[in-house]
Structure 1
Amino acid sequence: MRDYDDVLFPEGYQKIKDLEALIAKLTAENKQKMAMKDQQINDLNKKIEELEKPLSKSDAKLNQ
Structure 2
Amino acid sequence: MSNLDSGQLRPAGTVSATGASNLSDLEDKLAEKAREQGAKGYVINSAGGNDQMLGTATIYK
TM-score by length of structure 2 reads 0.28
Higher RCO, Cα 8 Å, sep 6+: 2
TM-score by length of structure 1 reads 0.27
Q: Which has the higher helix share?
A: 1
Tell me which structure has the larger Cα radius of gyration.
Answer: 1
